[in-house]
Amino acid sequence: MKLILTRHGETIENRDEICQGHLPGTLSKLGIEQAKKLALRLKHEKIDAIYSSDLARAADTAKIIAKYHPQVPLHFVKELRERDHKHFAGKKIDEIDMDKFDSESEPWSQMQIRIKKILDKAYEKYPDSKVLFVGHGAINMALTSVILNKPPEKIDKIDIPPNTAVSIFEIREDKNHKVHLLNCVKHLE
């Protein structure tokens, strides 16, 4: 399976440095423009299925992309949601006690379990197809760690993908996955 992975466009909360977690988020004017440029970049890709986080910021980005792929099934799933930051969600980043942030947010190991579940489900349904995942910064890091066979404690060493960054992976049954592109934002230039 060829997997295209992207992150939602910039949100008002990203711009205002607010921790979102499982909050829906609202695409900013820039975020809508980023999503439109991403959609144009992916316009000529033969995509067989789109899976998106069910949170509004990712879902809205996926809907913009899906306009160029009207016959492609679009699935909104919880497994692609951002890391659950629990009581930190909605707070300004500079108001968060970062010494407690990791230990009181959803564990990286739990994120790997949930992202692997949707990856396996997509692979089972579309093994010889091209699938698009629209997610978030941390969950995309967790997915990349699964593809690269990294342990949970190494996820925070993976680069946070910029808004609408595109990564492309070849997912193989033998788990010897291949990275074709990582966090590319050339469509925003």
Just list the catalytic residues. Answer: 8, 82
Q: Give CA angle at 182 (26, 105), nearest 5°.
A: 50
The H-assigned helical ranges of the chain are: 12-15, 29-42, 56-66, 98-104, 108-125, 137-147
Report how far residue 85's alpha carbon sits from residue 60's, in angstroms, rounded to the nearest whole number.
21
Place of tokens 């099934």: 73
Tokens standing for residue 103 = 């230990």
Q: Pick from 134, 177, 163, 167: which is nearest to 31 by CA? A: 163
Residues in contact with 94: Cβ distance below 8 Å, sequence separation at least 6, in sequence order: 17
* Size of the chain in residues: 189
Tokens standing for residue 158 = 């993976």
